[in-house]
Structure 1
Amino acid sequence: MRYQISINKNKIEGQIKLPASKSISNRVLIINALSYSPYPVQNLSNSDDTKVLLEALFSNQNKFDIGHAGTAMRFLTAFISKIVGEWEITGSERMKQRPIKILVDALNELGAKIEYLEKEGFPPLKIFGSHLKGKTIELDGSVSSQYISALLMLAPTIENGLAINLKGNITSRSYIELTLKLMGKFGVRHEWKENTIYVPEQKYFPMDFTVEADWSGASYWYQMLALAQKGDVFLENLKLDSLQGDANIATWFEQFGVFSEQKKEGVLLKKMKSVQPERLTIDFIENPDVAQTFACLCVAKKVPFHFSGLKTLKIKETDRIAALQNELAKFGASLTEPKHGELEWDGQIDLQLKEETPIVKTYHDHRMAMAFAPMALSGLQMEIDDPMVVTKSYPAFWEDLKNVGFEVVEIQS
């Protein structure tokens, strides 16, 4: 199935109920379980990833299939490594290609007993719940922050706590900080000196918790206003002073004339003027999940760019750097990777590459679908293949687009 995306106006107006933050939801579910809390988490994300994790945590089974949910794979692997019993965890074919050796090695170093059922270094896993003893472990700081977050959330429950020494440059630091802030909400203290994070053995304190709206989901609405000539959109339950690192994008989009105003019930976005940078240079090391949003925005607005800090994009739902190169080429943009983890475009449209009505492949990646669809505001018609991949993080995305004037027509492929 494909969706044909188009829009016949250049003004965007509406009030949007954003999905709750998947990043916060998944972390708080693990922390809530570790605190033996009697309180259910309020306003949980209705994304596939969160549903999978919630189902696993409340399951009576000892075998879990988490599909495409990378966060659930990492967080559950750490969580059940100390729960007495014999467990198996697997996922989709793509999940079986996503590395997990760094996390498994770290857990085994702490006393866990985890085996690979198929290929060394990759899911599926067999886990024998064990008593874990803390120590100082070393991890490459440039690896996925989800490995680090999985270990940090477990740390207070480990005998003697845990110290993690992060070597080299730290990728997605904001997501590590998010994890520590959420742990702090549940009473857990930590020390972060230079590149070492120490979490003593201690107890989580149960509390009632409500999840805020998702900033990654908000990025697509900022993108739409950046592409529109005028308009305003109210995003419910969003906070400029957010726990989420992706809130940084509010200031980035001012370069495209989009400004934010905090209201009591959310954030009001306004397209104040028609401006754009001559060239955009951003280091996404703290915010890799919004890189696709900006790449699509720049191509639609013909803004040359140089993006860095993208190393982790290669081990997401797909190799996002390769996926962006493949799909943006259909719009005439030839993107290069000058160095590992970088993406660059000279702003030139190659008419020989450009397709009349591009069919955008999504590669089982929700962010591919959501980053490309707003490009229709620049008069670019397209078809999105496998559009329901958006349920991974934003199930109501297509309905929300229809409500502000997009035409979303189903085409049988």
Structure 2
Amino acid sequence: MSSSKVQPRLGNTGFIIFLALLSAFVPLSTDLYLPALPEMTHFFNVPEITMNLTLILFFIFYSIATLFWGPLSDRYGRRPILLIGLVGYLIASILCGIATSATQIILFRILQACGGGVATTVATAVIKDVYVGRKQETTLAIVQSMVVISPAIAPVIGSLLLTFISWRGIFFAQALLGLTVVLGALIFKETHHPEHETISVMRSFGRLGVLLKDPGFTALLLVFSTMSIISLGFISSSSYIYQNTFHLSSQMFSFFFAFNAIGMLLGPLVYIPLSKFIDRFVIIYSCFFLSIVSGGLILMFGLGSPIMFALTQFPATLASSVIRPPGTYLVLKQQENDNGSASSLYSAGGTIMGSVGMVFVSVAEAFPVQAIAFINIVIGAICWLALWLSMKGFKNQIKI
């Protein structure tokens, strides 16, 4: 890390925590209010699919927003763009808390997604700005290990909040999170100073197309984005599976969800020591296989009880988390400039694919456990084959 990019006011530890909070915006914006989804469905007297739109549309518009924030941060710098998006997220969170209809909740969640989209994109771009090589990969793993703590604790916090306040308080808690990160952004020192300030905004957006024309970048982007179908499909359906299918309370759901979230936490922590001795591609292919095995175990043992479902889903949760650091590193390694644009495409790709998973489990709401098993098997197999074909077909164009 060059001296010009040191964070004198945040410090090294504060800098990592700040990046982790930024990267955690998506899980905190979803998992914190997952226990309240059934209550909100009854409160507004709407079908489950209607309330699920607060998740599905959030991820769709989040992915669209990231495509704008990344190039803008390349053009104008990380800090000003970060502040604009985070303030928008803060305002939208407050509006969600005072909404009076399901339609308003959906609309304000879209606004929340548009503002929150800046966080993950800029966080990833900043890591690429500051670190290189092995340090970049391990920093990604450390930040992501801190990020995935949020799925473990957010539903528990949400359930505890619901014992004292209504679902509206959940969104005010998100607003408080937004305020915290806004304060962090105010003392954050810029890590990217645009060299070509005369480049137009439209030309900055055009860099997205240039990156997509790189076959190595696009191939790896598709492979690792597709794995998000597994994680987000499970996250979006988990509250209904545990509370409606297995008839658990919202608090018990949070404990079962936290168990699966341990797999998300362990993933990056497992990858760091393994990658010292095992080739990253061996680890990646093993994770694809583990997802397939998990799906088969769910069909054989996980249909009848919440305990067995949690145990059999755990390998897929762990596998999708282990893949994140090497996947992010490999995608970003395919280009040396345009860090914001590359981060935008990576964030958008994962979110779009994750939305596909959420739509699938919503459509299959009569058989949600079987739907999760099917996703684990099919996506694990598709990703394994796609990566093998990509490495064979573009072996001279993919940087490893």
TM range (shorter): under 0.3
Instruction: Output the TM-score relative to the length of structure 1.
Output: 0.24
Instruction: From the two aligned structures, give the one with the greater strand fraction.
Output: 1
| Structure showing greater relative contact order (alpha-carbon pairs closer than 8 Å, 6 or more residues apart) | 2
Larger radius of gyration: 1
Instruction: Output the TM-score relative to the length of structure 2.
Output: 0.25
